[in-house]
Amino acid sequence: MAPSTPRTRATAALRMKQIALDNQGRTIRRLRAQLATERRGLATMKKELEDTQVALEASHKVIAGLTEIGLSMSKKNERMKVKKQKVRANHVDCHQKFQARINEAEDSMQAQHLIIKALVDEKDSLLQTIHGLQEANNAPFDGDWEEEPEEEPEEEEIEDIPLGEGDIDDE
């Protein structure tokens, strides 16, 4: 039996190597399956990341557009504020001009009133002087004045229509 022992050992060693190779093959297949699963997962993640990146870029474009619109609106608001200030300033200027005209008219009316009052006072003084002169000359003063008639526009007289030959004059 001695000669069969090395053979049994060699067979056992071969059997052990075969078992180890089978185990390594199963491990390799399992690792390949895990690798394929991980690759599919990574491919899915890569696709999701690409979709997210596309959505993010679109979002950035929308944000940039909204920012541009916001800036445009801000500029427009500033222009409107400036325009409103100009309109307000113009309104104040016009108001001041009208107020100056009103004050000027009031001053003119007051001056005219003073002139009229002075003329009335002068008329009263002249009347008193005339009355004094009439009393000094023993002429009665009845207070009636012969006023010159005011010039009225002359009424247009109806013109006589010249009679032509053969017309009859009833007058």
**Residue 156 resides in a domain:** no
Q: Is residue 118 part of a domain?
A: no
- Asked if 141 and 135 count as a contact pair (C-beta separation under 8 A), the reply is yes
> Has residue 124 been placed in a domain?
no
Residue 75 inside a domain? The answer is yes
Instruction: Please report whether residue 129 resides in a domain.
Output: no
Q: Is residue 85 part of a domain?
A: yes
Q: How confident is the model at residue 1 (pLDDT cuts 50, 70, 90)?
A: very low
Note whether residue 71 is domain-resident: yes
Is the pTM here over 0.85, yes or no?
no
Where is pLDDT greater, at 161 or 61? 61
Residue 111 banded pLDDT, cuts 50, 70, 90: very high
Domain count of the fold of the chain = 1
How large is the average pLDDT for residues 123-127? 93
Give a yes or no: residue 153 inside a domain: no
Mean pLDDT, residues 124-130 taken together? 92
Model confidence pLDDT, tens digit, residues 3-52: 556 678 889 999 999 999 999 999 999 999 999 999 999 999 999 999 99
DSSP result, the chain: -TTHHHHHHHHHHHHHHHHHHHHHHHHHHHHHHHHHHHHHHHHHHHHHHHHHHHHHHHHHHHHHHHHHHHHHHHHHHHHHHHHHHHHHHHHHHHHHHHHHHHHHHHHHHHHHHHHHHHHHHHHHHHHHHHHHHHHHTT----S---PPPPP-PPPPPPPPPPP-TTPPP--
Looking at every residue in the chain, the average pLDDT score rounds to 85
What does the pLDDT read at residue 165?
61
For residues 73-80, average pLDDT? 94
- Please report which confidence band the pLDDT of residue 136 belongs to, taking 50, 70 and 90 as the band edges: confident
Segments forming the whole domain that contains residue 32: 12-108
Spatial distance between the Cα atoms of 26 and 14, rounded to a whole number of angstroms: 18
pLDDT digits over 143-167, tens only?
A: 555 555 566 655 555 555 566 565 5
